[in-house]
Amino acid sequence: MSTTGSQRLKGRVAIITGAGRGIGFAIGQQFAREGAHVVVAEIDTDVVYQAATDLTALGTEALAYPIDISDLPQMRKMIADVVAKFGRLDIVVNNAGISNKAAFLEMTEPQWDDMQRINQRAVFFTMQEAAKQMIAQIPEAERGNDRQPFSRGKIINLSSIAGRRGRADALHYSVAKSAVITMTQGAAMALARYNINVNALCPSVVPTRMWDHLDAAMAAQNGLERGVWYKARVERVPLKRPGTVEEIAAMATFLASSDADYITGQTYNVDGGSELN
Ligand SMILES: NC(=O)c1ccc[n+]([C@@H]2O[C@H](COP(=O)([O-])OP(=O)(O)OC[C@H]3O[C@@H](n4cnc5c(N)ncnc54)[C@H](O)[C@@H]3O)[C@@H](O)[C@H]2O)c1
């Protein structure tokens, strides 16, 4: 067992959706090092159990929870199961997502609907269900107070710099990620009186399976060698390199910690300078 870090999340119970790999798994690692119990809410049964095993090896209690987060009854059952097991819920990271390209004139209804169901609808209802639990955890004597004295929960949503402006070749993705930004703002305002903080992150280019799939699709579509499109995309990042999953996870960990208690409704670009808003 190796507990490292400053234990900023000691004893907190965190659900991270899509934590089987990529950015979500890296967030799980940093949360675990900071002392949180982590629920790996992941659709891919090839990775969900190993991810939880790897997080447990960091000295935390991690739970593998195979789930399609866009199936709302499953999502609600998961939150109930997590509370039954750990007794509470303190942090939710809405990280699970899909990404693909579709030209404006060729976009199909299933492409559009799948994207909105997973990348935005699931985020809204997971925030709603998590917030109900976080509010229920407020001690009886303090309920009804107009202002809660300290943070009662943290919600962190993964948006994207694609949510900052409409993209011609992936408007379904842009729209979903832009909705995540406005949902973050609206939820933050709705939950401010309970002192539940809601914030979002916009990565740009972070090499994960998602980028691997995009590169493969773009190579096939444009007759390119694998990696050529990705390299050109990285060149457009002002810092001239891709981000790392650890750099995204560091920001998520800060936002989950009490260091960020006075921050809510914000969306941070963690993107090498790609966007300036
Ligand atoms: N990688 C980047 O450069 C980048 C840039 C901008 C935004 N993002 C966002 O960050 C998040 C994580 O991306 P990533 O690059 O780590 O992707 P990834 O594909 O490597 O990992 C995503 C994980 O989510 C899981 N998942 C997908 N649908 C799910 C569902 N319905 N229920 C449960 N789990 C599900 C996948 O199985 C996978 O393990 C996504 O929301 C993505 O849109 C990533």
pTM of the model: 0.97
CB of 18 closer than 6 angstroms to any ligand 1 atom: yes
Rounded Cα distance between 241 and 228, Å, is 14
Residue 275 lies in a domain: no
Selected catalytic residue, list 49, 65, 173, 262: 173
Residues 35 and 86 grouped into a single domain: yes
Q: What per-residue confidence (pLDDT) applies to 141?
A: 85
Same domain, 220 and 95: no
Residue 181 forms part of a structural domain = yes
Q: Does 61 lie in the same domain as 170?
A: yes
Cα–Cα dist 72/166, whole Å: 28
Is 29 within the bounds of a domain?
yes
Cβ neighbourhood burial of 73 (10 Å; 0-12, 13-18, 19+) = exposed
Ligand 1 binding pocket mutation candidate from 16, 23, 175 (most atoms within 8 A of CB): 23
Give CA–CA dist 78/209, Å, rounded.
25
Ligand 1 proximity of 20 Cβ (cutoff 6 Å) = yes
To 10 degrees, the CA torsion angle through 61, 59, 53, 49?
Answer: 30
In a domain, 55, yes or no: yes
Q: pLDDT tens per residue, the chain (277 residues)?
A: 444 558 999 999 999 999 999 999 999 999 999 999 999 999 999 999 999 999 999 999 999 999 999 999 999 999 999 999 999 999 999 999 999 999 999 999 999 999 999 999 999 999 999 999 999 999 988 887 778 788 899 999 999 999 999 999 999 999 999 999 999 999 999 999 999 999 999 999 999 999 999 999 999 989 999 999 999 999 999 999 999 999 999 999 999 999 999 999 999 999 999 999 8
Closest ligand 1 atom to the C-alpha of 21? 39
Q: Does one domain contain both 255 and 170?
A: yes
Residues 55 and 169 grouped into a single domain: yes
Q: Is the CB of 42 under 6 A from ligand 1?
A: yes
Cβ(209) – ligand 1 distance below 6 Å: yes
Which residues have CB under 8 Å from 43's CB, separation 6+?
Answer: 18, 20, 66, 67, 68, 69, 96
Tell me: do 151 and 228 sit in the same domain.
no
In a domain, 198, yes or no: yes
Q: Which domain holds residue 63?
A: 13-204+244-267
Q: Is 267 in the pocket of ligand 1 (CB under 6 A)?
A: no
> Are 153 and 221 within one domain?
no
Find, among 174, 233, 182, the residue nearest to 206 by Cα: 233
173 classed as catalytic: yes
Q: What DSSP state is assigned to residue 264?
A: -
φ and ψ at residue 207, rounded to 5 degrees? -65, 115
Are residues 175 and 124 part of one domain? Answer: yes
Look at residue 91 and tell me if it is in a domain: yes
Q: Are residues 219 and 99 in the same domain?
A: no
On whether residue 276 sits in a domain, the answer given is no
Q: Please name which of 174, 202, 200 lies closest in space to residue 185, comparing C-alpha atoms.
A: 200
* 174: CATH: 3.40.50.720
CA 42 – ligand 1 centroid, Å: 10
- Looking from the CA of residue 69, the nearest atom of ligand 1 is 32
Residue 2, domain member (yes or no) = no
Same domain for 64 and 89, yes or no, is yes
Q: For the chain, how many structural domains are there in total? A: 2
Q: Are residues 146 and 235 in the same domain?
A: no
Are 84 and 220 members of one domain? no
